[in-house]
Chain A
Amino acid sequence: MSNYVTLEYDVLVIGAGGAGLRSAIEASAAGVRVGLICKSLLGKAHTVMAEGGMAAALANVDDRDNWKVHFADTMRGGQYVNNWRMAELHAKEAPDRVRELEAWGAVFDRTADGRILQRNFGGHRYPRLAHVGDRTGLELIRTLQDHGIHQGIEVHMEHTIVTLLKESDRVVGAFGYDRERGRFKVFKARAIVLATGGIGRAYRITSNSWEYTGDGQSLAYHAGAELVDMEFVQFHPTGMIWPPSVMGILVTEGVRGEGGILHNKEGKRFMFAGIPDAYKSQTANNPEEGWRYTQGDKNARRPPELLTRDHVARCIIEEVKAGRGSPHGGVFLDIAWIKEKIPNAAEHIKKKLPSMYHQFMQLANLDITKEPMEVGPTTHYIMGGVRVDAETQMSNVPGLFAAGEVAAGLHGSNRLGGNSLSDLLVFGKRAGEFAAQFSKESNSGQISDAQVEGAAREALEPFERAAKATANAEGPYQVQYDLQETMQNLVGIVRREEEMVRALDELHKLSVRAKQVIVYGHREYNPGWHTAIDLKHLLTVSEAITRAALARKESRGGHFRDDFPNKDSGEGKMNIVLRKEADGSMHVSREEIPEMPPDLERIIEEMK
C-alpha cells in the first residue's frame, strides 16, 4: 500500500450539493458506510445559490397539473432529445421528494390554505415551483445538510478529488488532497457517486463559482465513462452585466415569473415578436393576458418572457446586435412597472424577491422597485455530462454512478428552470440507493500503488517545474483566462464551424501551456496550485463541448449554429456520445435515441 492516509467506505459520494447530500442520505439509510467529499465547506456548494424553486407537479396551486404535464413540458423544453425514461421518473417522483423535504424541516412559502406554494417558471405550463422567496437552494441544501449530519455520514470538507482509481473495468476508489494541508489521501470505495455539478468556469461570463471546473465530467471520462449531450450548454438569459465586476451573476427567472418584463432601449417588449410555433398556442399574445397569467389567472397564457431560456437568450442577443440594447450591452428587465398594477408594489417586490433586491442594491446601487435592471446572457448550466442508466444512475463503468448536474439525460437540449433542484433529489436518491446496493454485492477492490503514485506525481509537477523555472514561465491563472476567453468567443451562444475548429486548435495550445505552468509557495491552502490542477478538467470538458458541438449539425435548445440555424429531424434522433480512446484521443460517435414507448408518446401528443 502507498504511504498516504487511506480511508475506506462502501459508498463514496464526491460532491455535497443537493445531489450528493441526497445520495449520501439514501446510501446511509441503506445501512452502508458512507463518505462524503466536497471542495468547499459543507453547505456552500452551488446548490446554495439556486433561487427560483424546484419543479414538482404537486398541483397545490393549479389542480390541472400532474406528472404527465410535467413530463411533456420537460420533453418539449429539451426538444425531445432527452432520456425519456429519466423525464418520466423525474416527473413522477419529484412530488414525493419535495414533501420529504418538508418532513425533514424545510419551510416552503405557503398557499392560502396552508400547503406548499408554487410559482410560475419558464416552460412549465402550470405554477409548479415550490419555493422559499428567491433562496430556494439555500433551503434545500440546509435541510439536507441538517438532516444528513445526524445520519452517520463521514464528511470530508475542503477535499478535492483529482483522479478515480480503477481495478480493470471497475472503479475502486478515488485519490485527492485536502486543501488545508495539501496532504494526499486515498479513498477506497466499493461504489462511487459523482455529484460534482457543472462546468461554468470554462466560460468568461458565468453565474457559476470557482468550483465549477467540470471535475466530475472529466474524472468520469478519464476513467472510461461515456459523456453525452455535451454540446448543450445553457446560457441563462438574465445575468447582471453592470458594473463589470458582477458580470454574469444570475438574476432569477423568478423576476419574470412575478411579472417582470423585458424591453429594449426603445421601450419595446421585443419578446412578443417571433414566438416559436411549438409554443404559440400556450403563449399570451398581448401584455394584458401575460400580466394576468403571472397573477395566477388560470385562463390566461404565459407571457413570452417566460419562454424557454435558449429562446429568450437568443432574442436578447439579437436586440443587442441590432443596436437596440441597453447602455452596457444588454436589455432591460423591469419589475418596477408593476406599480401601475398593484398597490404597495415596492413592498411586494421586496417580499417576493428579497435577494434580488439586496443584490442590486448592494452590488449595482440600483433599486429594482424603482428602476429597470440591465441584463444579458450568462453561462449557467450544462445539460450534458456523464451518460447514466435512467433507473440506477450508473455509468458504463461498473460501480461509478453520477447524479445532478454532472449527469446527463433528463434535460435534453435545454433544461427548464426549477427542473434541476428536483433532478438532484430524484436522481440523487436513486444514485444513493443503487450505489449502496452495488456496494453490498461487490467485494472491496484492490488499489494500485502505481496509479496512486502516478497521480501524486502529476499533481506535484507544477511545484517541481517552479524550482527550475526560467523567467518566462507562467502561472495557472493566465492559462485559465485564455481558456475562458476562447470558449466564450468561439463556442458560445452562437456557434459556427470555422470558429469551433479554431477553438480546438486553441485548446490544444492551451493544453501544452497547462503542462508547463508553475506554482510557487507550499501545498497548504494554495489556490494557485488548485487552479493548476483544475486546468486538466477545464480542458477536457472544453474539448468535449467543442467536439460535440461540431458534430451536431443543426440548432436545438442550448446549441445554436449560425451555419445550421434550423432544427433537423435526423439530427434530432441522435445523441452525441464521447469516449476516451486507448491512445488518449477523444472519440465522437452518434447514437440513435431509443424509441419512446407508446404511452409516453401519447402523452406528448395530447399535450401539444
Chain B
Amino acid sequence: MKTAVFKIWRGDANGGDFSEFATEISEGMVVLDAVHAIQAQQANDLACRWNCKAGKCGSCSAEINGVPKLMCMTRLDAIPLDKPITLEPMRAFPSVRDLVTDVSWNFRVKKKIKKFKPRPPDAPDGTWRISQADIDRVQEFRKCIECFLCQDVCHVLRDHHLQEEFIGPRYLVFAAALEMHPLDTEDRLSELKQAGGIGYCNITKCCTKVCPENITITDNAIIPLKERVVDEFYDPLGKLLKLFRPKT
C-alpha cells in the first residue's frame, strides 16, 4: 500500500505547530479519510469538524496545501504525494483546537440581517405563484452550505480584519438571496451599505474561486447588489423610476 505524509497543524488559541503523520492510502481516498485514519490510529484527540462526508454540510473546511477546501471532497489522487501535504485550520478565524476554528462570528452576522418578509399570498389558500425562471438565481444562492471558505479567503476579513465593518461574501450572497427573492418586500440596501460594508469588496473574485458549491458569488450576487446600492443612494432619478417597476 502507498503511504502519504501529512503535516497537520496542532494547537489552540495560544499557538501551535505542525506535526507529521504518515498514513496508508487506498484508491479514491479523500483528505478527510486520511484525517480519520490518523485520528483512529495515531492521535485519538486530533480535532476536526465533519458531518456528511459528501460536500453537503460545509463542516470540514480547512486549508489544504494552503488552499481553502472541503476535506471530504478533496481526493488524494488530485494532490502531489511526493512531499508532505499540509493541513491547517481556516486562518481567518480564531483557533479553537487543531483543525477547528471559532466561526461563531458568522452566526452573529447573519442574525443582524433583516429576515424574509413576504408579500401577502397570491391565492386564497395562502399560497403564491412564482415562475421557475424568477427563482433560478435565488436557488443558486440558496445552495450555500455555509462552509465559510469564502469568508476565509476574502482579504477584507483575512488580512484587514474588518469583521466589524464588513459582512463578507457569504452574507452578501445571503442578502442577495433575500433581496432577489420574488416574494420578499423588505429593504436591506441601506443596511448593506452601512453596517454590511459592501463598499469594501473590490471584486477580486477570490471568494468565487473557492466556493465548493460553484456559486458565482461576485458576478451574480455582489455586483448586482452593488448596483442596487448605487441606484438607491446615488441616483435619485433611478430611484424614482424604481418606484414604478416591480421588484425583481
Contact = CB atoms under 8 A, between A and B. Distances in A.
B4 interface: no
B40 interface: yes
A20 to B, nearest CB: 15
Interface in B129-184: 129-132, 135, 138-139, 142-143, 145-146, 178, 181, 184
B142 A139 contact: yes
Contact of B28 (A132, A363, A528): A363
A98 B233 CA distance: 38
A531 B44 CA distance: 9
Nearest to A60: B127
B58 A520 contact: no
B130 A211 contact: no
Contacts of A113: 129
Interface stretch (B109-117, B193-201, B218-226, B237-245): B109-117
Interface in A32-52: 40-46, 48-49
Contact of B57 (A44, A99, A107): A44
A109 B126 contact: no
A41 B103 contact: yes
Contacts of B129: 113-115
B230 interface: no
Contact of A110 (B97, B100, B102, B135): B135
A246 B73 CA distance: 10
Contact of B27 (A105, A180, A244): A244
Interface in A460-514: 475-477, 481
B190 interface: no
A48 B58 CA distance: 10
Contact of A107 (B54, B102, B181): B181
Given A146-B110, A525-B98, A44 B181 contact: no
A582 interface: no
A285 interface: no
Interface string A553-569: 00000000000000000
Interface residues of B, number: 60
A449 interface: no
B65 interface: no
Given A44-B59, A146-B115, A363 B52 contact: no
Given A243-B28, A245-B30, A249-B53, A525 B97 contact: yes
A147 interface: yes
B225 to A, nearest CB: 18
A113 to B, nearest CB: 7
A209 B110 contact: no
B128 interface: yes
Contacts of A157: 104, 107
A149 interface: yes
A107 B51 contact: no
Interface centre among A102, A147, A250, A475 (most CB of B within 10 A): A102
Interface in B48-86: 48-59, 73, 75
Contacts of B111: 149-150
Interface of A: 40-46, 48-49, 99, 102-105, 107, 109-110, 113-116, 132-133, 135, 137-139, 142, 146-147, 149-150, 157, 180, 209-211, 242-246, 249-250, 355, 358-359, 362-364, 475-477, 481, 519-522, 524-529, 531
The 7 closest A-B CB pairs, nearest first, are: A243-B28, A528-B44, A521-B45, A114-B129, A105-B116, A525-B47, A525-B97
14 contacts: A40-B57, A44-B51, A105-B178, A107-B181, A110-B132, A114-B129, A157-B107, A180-B97, A180-B102, A209-B51, A243-B28, A245-B30, A363-B73, A525-B96
Interface of B: 12, 26-30, 33, 39-41, 44-59, 73, 75, 96-98, 100, 102-104, 107, 110-111, 115-116, 118, 121, 125-132, 135, 138-139, 142-143, 145-146, 178, 181, 184
